[in-house]
Protein backbone atom coordinates (compact mmCIF):
# COMPACT_ATOMS: atom_id res chain seq x y z
CA UNK A 1 0.00 0.00 0.00
CA UNK A 2 1.31 3.42 -0.93
CA UNK A 3 0.69 5.93 1.83
CA UNK A 4 1.93 9.49 2.27
CA UNK A 5 4.85 9.92 4.59
CA UNK A 6 4.58 11.50 7.06
CA UNK A 7 0.86 10.82 7.49
CA UNK A 8 -0.53 12.69 10.46
CA UNK A 9 -3.91 13.97 9.43
CA UNK A 10 -6.69 11.97 7.73
CA UNK A 11 -10.13 12.94 6.42
CA UNK A 12 -12.50 10.08 5.63
CA UNK A 13 -15.73 10.63 3.68
CA UNK A 14 -18.31 7.86 3.71
CA UNK A 15 -21.41 7.41 1.57
CA UNK A 16 -24.32 5.02 1.23
CA UNK A 17 -22.06 2.21 -0.05
CA UNK A 18 -20.57 1.65 3.40
CA UNK A 19 -24.01 0.81 4.78
CA UNK A 20 -25.13 -1.27 1.78
CA UNK A 21 -23.85 -4.55 3.25
CA UNK A 22 -25.72 -3.74 6.48
CA UNK A 23 -28.93 -3.91 4.46
CA UNK A 24 -29.58 -0.22 3.73
CA UNK A 25 -30.18 0.73 0.10
CA UNK A 26 -27.88 3.12 -1.70
CA UNK A 27 -29.39 5.92 -3.77
CA UNK A 28 -28.05 5.48 -7.28
CA UNK A 29 -27.11 1.81 -7.65
CA UNK A 30 -29.46 -0.49 -9.56
CA UNK A 31 -32.62 -0.83 -7.44
CA UNK A 32 -31.49 2.12 -5.30
CA UNK A 33 -33.77 4.60 -3.54
CA UNK A 34 -33.89 7.05 -6.45
CA UNK A 35 -35.05 4.29 -8.81
CA UNK A 36 -38.11 3.78 -6.60
CA UNK A 37 -39.03 7.34 -5.75
CA UNK A 38 -38.29 10.64 -7.48
CA UNK A 39 -35.91 12.71 -5.37
CA UNK A 40 -37.92 15.80 -6.41
CA UNK A 41 -40.92 14.29 -4.58
CA UNK A 42 -39.21 13.61 -1.24
CA UNK A 43 -35.80 15.24 -0.89
CA UNK A 44 -36.30 18.94 -1.60
CA UNK A 45 -37.79 21.81 0.44
CA UNK A 46 -40.32 22.21 -2.40
CA UNK A 47 -41.50 18.61 -1.92
CA UNK A 48 -42.02 19.32 1.79
CA UNK A 49 -44.02 22.46 1.01
CA UNK A 50 -46.13 20.58 -1.57
CA UNK A 51 -46.87 17.36 0.25
CA UNK A 52 -45.70 17.01 3.85
CA UNK A 53 -47.58 13.73 4.31
CA UNK A 54 -45.67 12.07 1.48
CA UNK A 55 -42.26 13.29 2.64
CA UNK A 56 -43.05 12.32 6.25
CA UNK A 57 -44.14 8.83 5.18
CA UNK A 58 -40.92 8.34 3.17
CA UNK A 59 -38.72 9.24 6.15
CA UNK A 60 -40.92 7.35 8.67
CA UNK A 61 -40.37 4.20 6.62
CA UNK A 62 -36.61 4.72 6.47
CA UNK A 63 -36.44 5.51 10.20
CA UNK A 64 -38.41 2.35 10.92
CA UNK A 65 -36.07 0.30 8.73
CA UNK A 66 -33.08 1.66 10.66
CA UNK A 67 -34.67 0.38 13.91
CA UNK A 68 -34.95 -3.15 12.45
CA UNK A 69 -32.71 -5.39 14.61
CA UNK A 70 -31.36 -6.94 11.39
CA UNK A 71 -29.71 -3.61 10.47
CA UNK A 72 -26.35 -3.53 12.25
CA UNK A 73 -22.96 -1.91 11.65
CA UNK A 74 -20.74 -4.05 9.44
CA UNK A 75 -17.02 -4.76 9.50
CA UNK A 76 -16.30 -1.54 7.56
CA UNK A 77 -18.02 0.63 10.20
CA UNK A 78 -16.25 -1.34 12.95
CA UNK A 79 -12.84 -1.02 11.30
CA UNK A 80 -13.22 2.76 11.01
CA UNK A 81 -14.20 2.93 14.69
CA UNK A 82 -11.02 1.04 15.55
CA UNK A 83 -8.97 3.40 13.38
CA UNK A 84 -10.55 6.39 15.10
CA UNK A 85 -9.71 4.90 18.52
CA UNK A 86 -6.12 4.00 17.70
CA UNK A 87 -4.96 6.66 15.20
CA UNK A 88 -2.44 8.91 16.95
CA UNK A 89 -2.86 11.87 14.58
CA UNK A 90 -5.91 13.88 13.52
CA UNK A 91 -8.82 12.05 11.97
CA UNK A 92 -12.11 13.56 10.82
CA UNK A 93 -14.80 11.08 9.82
CA UNK A 94 -17.38 12.87 7.68
CA UNK A 95 -20.43 10.95 6.55
CA UNK A 96 -23.07 11.84 4.00
CA UNK A 97 -25.22 9.10 5.51
CA UNK A 98 -28.23 9.86 7.67
CA UNK A 99 -28.09 6.45 9.38
CA UNK A 100 -26.45 5.97 12.79
CA UNK A 101 -24.31 2.93 11.96
CA UNK A 102 -21.00 4.75 12.51
CA UNK A 103 -22.13 5.72 16.02
CA UNK A 104 -23.39 2.22 16.77
CA UNK A 105 -19.96 0.92 15.73
CA UNK A 106 -18.33 3.28 18.22
CA UNK A 107 -17.25 6.15 15.94
CA UNK A 108 -17.76 9.85 16.27
CA UNK A 109 -18.95 10.87 12.80
CA UNK A 110 -19.82 14.29 11.46
CA UNK A 111 -23.16 14.06 9.60
CA UNK A 112 -22.93 16.65 6.82
CA UNK A 113 -26.37 15.63 5.43
CA UNK A 114 -28.06 15.37 8.82
CA UNK A 115 -29.56 12.42 10.69
CA UNK A 116 -32.62 10.22 10.32
CA UNK A 117 -32.95 9.90 14.10
CA UNK A 118 -33.52 13.64 14.55
CA UNK A 119 -36.38 15.97 13.58
CA UNK A 120 -36.49 19.73 13.19
CA UNK A 121 -39.45 21.78 14.38
CA UNK A 122 -40.73 24.17 11.71
CA UNK A 123 -41.91 26.52 14.50
CA UNK A 124 -38.83 26.89 16.71
CA UNK A 125 -36.13 25.35 14.48
CA UNK A 126 -34.82 23.06 17.23
CA UNK A 127 -33.36 19.69 16.28
CA UNK A 128 -34.49 16.89 18.62
CA UNK A 129 -33.78 13.17 18.80
CA UNK A 130 -36.71 11.17 17.43
CA UNK A 131 -37.54 7.47 17.52
CA UNK A 132 -40.59 6.09 15.72
CA UNK A 133 -43.21 7.72 13.53
CA UNK A 134 -43.78 11.41 13.00
CA UNK A 135 -47.50 12.24 12.67
CA UNK A 136 -49.33 15.55 12.14
CA UNK A 137 -50.07 15.46 15.89
CA UNK A 138 -46.41 15.02 16.90
CA UNK A 139 -45.24 17.68 19.36
CA UNK A 140 -41.83 19.31 19.24
CA UNK A 141 -39.87 18.07 22.30
CA UNK A 142 -38.32 21.54 22.61
CA UNK A 143 -41.30 23.95 22.28
CA UNK A 144 -44.34 21.60 22.37
CA UNK A 145 -45.72 23.01 19.09
CA UNK A 146 -47.57 20.79 16.62
CA UNK A 147 -46.64 23.07 13.72
CA UNK A 148 -44.70 20.30 11.96
CA UNK A 149 -41.60 18.18 12.44
CA UNK A 150 -39.48 17.70 9.34
CA UNK A 151 -36.65 15.19 9.12
CA UNK A 152 -33.38 16.79 10.20
CA UNK A 153 -31.69 15.94 6.91
CA UNK A 154 -30.15 18.11 4.19
CA UNK A 155 -32.24 18.17 1.04
CA UNK A 156 -31.19 19.30 -2.43
CA UNK A 157 -30.85 23.07 -2.48
CA UNK A 158 -30.04 23.22 1.25
CA UNK A 159 -26.58 23.88 2.62
CA UNK A 160 -24.84 20.86 4.18
CA UNK A 161 -23.60 21.11 7.76
CA UNK A 162 -20.11 22.03 8.89
CA UNK A 163 -18.57 23.03 5.55
CA UNK A 164 -16.10 25.44 7.15
CA UNK A 165 -14.81 22.77 9.49
CA UNK A 166 -14.62 20.22 6.68
CA UNK A 167 -12.83 22.66 4.35
CA UNK A 168 -10.28 23.39 7.06
CA UNK A 169 -9.63 19.68 7.63
CA UNK A 170 -9.34 19.08 3.87
CA UNK A 171 -6.78 21.86 3.57
CA UNK A 172 -4.67 20.36 6.37
CA UNK A 173 -4.94 16.61 5.71
CA UNK A 174 -2.20 14.35 4.36
CA UNK A 175 -4.62 11.60 3.36
CA UNK A 176 -8.19 11.73 2.06
CA UNK A 177 -10.22 8.52 1.78
CA UNK A 178 -13.64 8.30 0.07
CA UNK A 179 -15.62 5.15 0.88
CA UNK A 180 -18.81 4.01 -0.88
CA UNK A 181 -19.88 7.27 -2.46
CA UNK A 182 -20.69 7.84 -6.13
CA UNK A 183 -19.21 11.35 -6.11
CA UNK A 184 -22.27 12.82 -7.79
CA UNK A 185 -23.58 15.12 -5.06
CA UNK A 186 -21.84 18.42 -4.33
CA UNK A 187 -20.20 19.79 -2.30
CA UNK A 188 -19.02 16.34 -1.07
CA UNK A 189 -18.15 15.34 -4.64
CA UNK A 190 -15.52 18.09 -4.64
CA UNK A 191 -13.74 17.04 -1.44
CA UNK A 192 -11.17 14.74 -3.08
CA UNK A 193 -10.12 17.48 -5.53
CA UNK A 194 -9.92 20.01 -2.69
CA UNK A 195 -7.73 17.69 -0.62
CA UNK A 196 -5.50 16.85 -3.61
CA UNK A 197 -5.08 20.54 -4.46
CA UNK A 198 -3.72 21.04 -0.94
CA UNK A 199 -1.25 18.19 -1.47
CA UNK A 200 -3.09 15.27 0.13
CA UNK A 201 -2.85 11.71 -1.15
CA UNK A 202 -6.30 10.41 -2.13
CA UNK A 203 -7.72 6.89 -1.93
CA UNK A 204 -11.05 5.63 -3.22
CA UNK A 205 -12.74 2.56 -1.74
CA UNK A 206 -15.69 1.48 -3.87
CA UNK A 207 -17.13 -1.31 -5.99
CA UNK A 208 -16.21 0.76 -9.04
CA UNK A 209 -14.11 3.78 -10.02
CA UNK A 210 -15.95 7.08 -9.70
CA UNK A 211 -13.35 9.78 -10.26
CA UNK A 212 -9.73 10.85 -10.00
CA UNK A 213 -7.87 9.35 -7.03
CA UNK A 214 -4.22 8.45 -6.42
CA UNK A 215 -5.15 4.93 -5.40
CA UNK A 216 -8.17 2.67 -5.59
CA UNK A 217 -9.34 -0.26 -3.51
CA UNK A 218 -12.02 -1.95 -5.59
CA UNK A 219 -14.37 -4.33 -3.78
CA UNK A 220 -17.01 -4.52 -1.09
CA UNK A 221 -16.39 -2.16 1.81
CA UNK A 222 -16.66 -4.99 4.36
CA UNK A 223 -13.50 -6.49 2.83
CA UNK A 224 -11.53 -3.48 1.61
CA UNK A 225 -11.99 -1.15 4.59
CA UNK A 226 -10.68 -3.57 7.26
CA UNK A 227 -7.66 -4.25 5.00
CA UNK A 228 -6.97 -0.54 4.57
CA UNK A 229 -7.37 0.12 8.30
CA UNK A 230 -4.98 -2.71 9.16
CA UNK A 231 -2.36 -1.17 6.85
CA UNK A 232 -2.84 2.29 8.29
CA UNK A 233 -2.39 0.96 11.82
CA UNK A 234 0.55 -1.32 10.97
C1 LIG B 1 -20.23 0.26 -2.47
C2 LIG B 1 -20.89 -0.84 -1.99
C3 LIG B 1 -20.14 -1.66 -1.17
C4 LIG B 1 -22.30 0.18 -3.18
N5 LIG B 1 -18.87 -1.36 -0.89
N6 LIG B 1 -18.96 0.55 -2.19
C7 LIG B 1 -25.17 21.14 -10.86
C8 LIG B 1 -23.81 21.03 -10.71
C9 LIG B 1 -23.23 20.93 -9.45
C10 LIG B 1 -24.01 20.96 -8.32
C11 LIG B 1 -25.37 21.10 -8.47
C12 LIG B 1 -25.95 21.18 -9.72
N13 LIG B 1 -27.29 21.29 -9.57
C14 LIG B 1 -27.56 21.25 -8.24
C15 LIG B 1 -26.41 21.14 -7.56
C16 LIG B 1 -26.22 21.06 -6.10
C17 LIG B 1 -26.71 19.72 -5.56
C18 LIG B 1 -26.05 18.60 -6.33
O19 LIG B 1 -24.93 18.20 -6.06
N20 LIG B 1 -26.74 18.03 -7.29
C21 LIG B 1 -26.14 16.97 -8.11
C22 LIG B 1 -27.01 15.74 -8.07
C23 LIG B 1 -25.88 17.53 -9.47
N24 LIG B 1 -26.29 19.68 -4.16
C25 LIG B 1 -27.02 20.21 -3.20
O26 LIG B 1 -28.12 20.71 -3.42
C27 LIG B 1 -26.41 20.23 -1.83
N28 LIG B 1 -26.42 21.54 -1.34
C29 LIG B 1 -25.76 22.54 -1.95
O30 LIG B 1 -25.10 22.37 -2.95
O31 LIG B 1 -25.90 23.72 -1.29
C32 LIG B 1 -25.38 24.89 -1.93
C33 LIG B 1 -24.09 25.29 -1.33
C34 LIG B 1 -23.11 24.38 -1.01
C35 LIG B 1 -21.91 24.80 -0.50
C36 LIG B 1 -21.69 26.12 -0.28
C37 LIG B 1 -22.67 27.06 -0.60
C38 LIG B 1 -23.87 26.63 -1.14
C39 LIG B 1 -27.23 19.38 -0.87
C40 LIG B 1 -27.16 17.93 -1.21
C41 LIG B 1 -28.08 17.14 -0.29
C42 LIG B 1 -28.08 15.67 -0.62
N43 LIG B 1 -29.10 15.02 0.09
C44 LIG B 1 -29.22 13.58 -0.01
C45 LIG B 1 -30.46 13.15 0.78
C46 LIG B 1 -30.19 13.25 2.28
C47 LIG B 1 -31.35 12.77 3.07
C48 LIG B 1 -31.73 11.33 2.78
O49 LIG B 1 -30.93 10.41 2.99
O50 LIG B 1 -32.85 11.14 2.33
O51 LIG B 1 -28.05 12.96 0.50
S52 LIG B 1 -29.30 12.98 -1.70
C53 LIG B 1 -28.37 11.53 -1.40
O54 LIG B 1 -27.15 11.58 -2.17
C55 LIG B 1 -27.96 11.58 0.08
C56 LIG B 1 -26.55 11.12 0.01
O57 LIG B 1 -25.85 11.53 1.16
C58 LIG B 1 -26.05 11.73 -1.27
C59 LIG B 1 -24.81 11.06 -1.82
O60 LIG B 1 -25.08 9.74 -2.19
P61 LIG B 1 -23.96 8.62 -1.99
O62 LIG B 1 -23.72 8.39 -0.56
O63 LIG B 1 -22.81 8.91 -2.84
O64 LIG B 1 -24.77 7.32 -2.52
P65 LIG B 1 -24.90 6.77 -4.03
O66 LIG B 1 -26.04 5.84 -4.04
O67 LIG B 1 -24.91 7.86 -5.01
O68 LIG B 1 -23.54 5.97 -4.27
C69 LIG B 1 -23.27 4.77 -3.57
C70 LIG B 1 -21.85 4.32 -3.96
O71 LIG B 1 -21.52 3.22 -3.14
C72 LIG B 1 -21.71 3.86 -5.42
O73 LIG B 1 -20.55 4.49 -5.99
C74 LIG B 1 -21.50 2.36 -5.31
O75 LIG B 1 -20.60 1.84 -6.31
C76 LIG B 1 -20.90 2.23 -3.95
N77 LIG B 1 -21.19 0.97 -3.29
N78 LIG B 1 -22.19 -0.82 -2.51
C79 LIG B 1 -18.32 -0.23 -1.47
N80 LIG B 1 -20.69 -2.78 -0.67
Residue with CA closest to ligand 1 atom 11: 186
pLDDT of 226 reads 98
Euclidean distance between CA atoms 51 and 209, whole angstroms: 37
CA of 185 from ligand 1 middle (Å) equals 3
What residue's CA is closest to ligand 1, atom 62?
Answer: 15
Report DSSP state, residue 5: S
- Residue 73 vs residues 21, 22, 79, 83: alpha-carbon distances, Å: 9, 6, 10, 15
> pLDDT at position 42, please?
98
Mean pLDDT of successive 10-residue stretches along the chain, which has 234 residues? 84 98 97 96 98 98 96 98 97 98 98 98 97 96 96 98 98 98 98 97 97 96 98 95
Q: How far apart are CA 133 and CA 68, in angstroms?
A: 14
pLDDT of 5? 83
Examine residue 68 and say whether the peptide bond preceding it is cis (omega within 30 degrees of 0): no
- Please, is 144 exposed, middle or buried when counting C-beta atoms within 10 Å of its C-beta (0-12, 13-18, 19+)? exposed
- Enter the DSSP assignment of 86: H
Beta strands in 89-233 (DSSP E): 90-95, 110-111, 114-121, 127-129, 149-153, 175-179, 201-206, 215-218
CA 150 to chain centre: 19
If you measure from the C-alpha of residue 80 to the centroid of ligand 1, how many angstroms do you get, rounded to a whole number? 21
Nearest CA to ligand 1 atom 43: 155
Residue 227 near residue 82, CB atoms below 8 Å: no
CA of 234 to the centre of ligand 1 (A): 33
What pLDDT is stored for residue 1 in this prediction? 56
Which pLDDT value is given to residue 4? Answer: 86
Angle, CA of 113, 152 and 159, to the nearest 5°: 45
pLDDT for position 6: 83
Which residue owns the Cα nearest ligand 1 atom 56?
96
Say whether 113 is catalytic. yes
What pLDDT, on the 0 to 100 scale, is given for residue 15? 98
Among the listed residues 50, 20, 23, the one whose alpha carbon sits nearest the alpha carbon of residue 38: 50
Cβ < 6 A, ligand 1 pocket: 15-17, 20-21, 26-29, 32, 43, 96, 98, 113, 153-160, 163, 180-182, 184-187, 206-208, 210, 220-221
| pLDDT for res 192 | 98
Alpha carbon of 190 to ligand 1 centroid (Å): 11
Amino acid sequence: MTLPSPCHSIVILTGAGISAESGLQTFRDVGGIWSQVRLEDVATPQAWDRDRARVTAFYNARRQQLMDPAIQPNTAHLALAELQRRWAGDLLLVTQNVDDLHERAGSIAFHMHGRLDQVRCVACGADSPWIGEVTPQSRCPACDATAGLRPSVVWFGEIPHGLERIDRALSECDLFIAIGTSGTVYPAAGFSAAARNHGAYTIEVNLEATGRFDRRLVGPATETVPTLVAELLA
